[in-house]
Amino acid sequence: MSELRWDPIKLHWVIIATERGRRPRDFQVEPEGDGMLACPFCYGNEDKTPPEIYAIRPGGAPNTANWRVRVIPNKYPALRVEGELNNRGYGLYDVMNGIGAHEVIIETPDHDRTLADLTHHEISGVLTAYRARYLDLRRDSRFRYMVLFKNHGSRAGATLHHSHSQLIAVPLLPPVATTALRVSRKYFSEKERCIYCDLINFELREGERVVREFSNYVILTPYASSSPFELRLYPKRHSHDFALMNDAQLAELAVAMKDMLLRVKTVLKDAPYNFILHTAPPMHRRTGKPNHWSSLEYDYHWHIELVPRLTQVAGFEWGTGFYINPTSPEDAARFLREADL
């Protein structure tokens, strides 16, 4: 029988439709072609992108070849750094200028290698670039939240085949972040414990939805997964802010990320996916709210969310806010655990 499951952090219901019982082979997606003749992210085409903001390279001048990771402004940004917010009312509506930042992290100079194909050392370099850009952007007091995400495959929203991720800084807290932060703070104020730590400890005891456990990280399928083969990667020790990690912690995270991405690529035949890095917002002082972030470092817990794009949102989902997942998270965890890597 199907089950309705409640997500206590996202505050929504999910239908686990076990009668449909879909297996990995039922989600096979046709391989995507790459019709691009000249990729602007490849070696030698540095002049075809905006000037780089950050790069990891053994040597050489900026905006030349010989780089391992490169960060550039998005050529067609959703938001721009220049200007003032000018937050104002418009009838019953609110409006402000499109102020923010929109950057692209080019993860490798090799056009046909995915993030899952990179070595642990190379993925560690990508994570180092993530950390550097977080630390830089959050110094701007106009930016209240940064979201780092990756779209892999055109069905997941990628417009270029070359492996890359994006970082967008916005001048307000998005609804998804607001919900998670409020839930975390309320739980901590009532129990003096982190809700994510309690969730992780419960899942480790249960074991049924754990895909892989490392010394300091765990990969699991959420109990109320909205989509088939949805995954979370958590640090096992409490940590609210990804950007505060040191090099050794980033190196270990790279091992866990490689494992997670390789399992998804193997089991789902390189299906399209999105991943999002959820971390604490900048702790800027807010006028009239002196205690706004007083418990943030104790109640929030950074994590990575990965969602393979195997199903589509249709009328029922739009009309109710419920998601129908045809593969139970317990089955998904088993398929991923048993993957022959």
Among candidate residues 152, 162, 164, 303, the one labeled active-site is 164
Does residue 240 carry a catalytic annotation? no
Alpha-carbon span 73 to 296, nearest angstrom: 30
Alpha-carbon span 36 to 130, nearest angstrom: 27
Sign, CA dihedral 111-112-118-124, equals positive
Length of the chain: 341
- Strand partners for 277: 148, 304
Residues annotated as catalytic (active site), given as ranges: 164
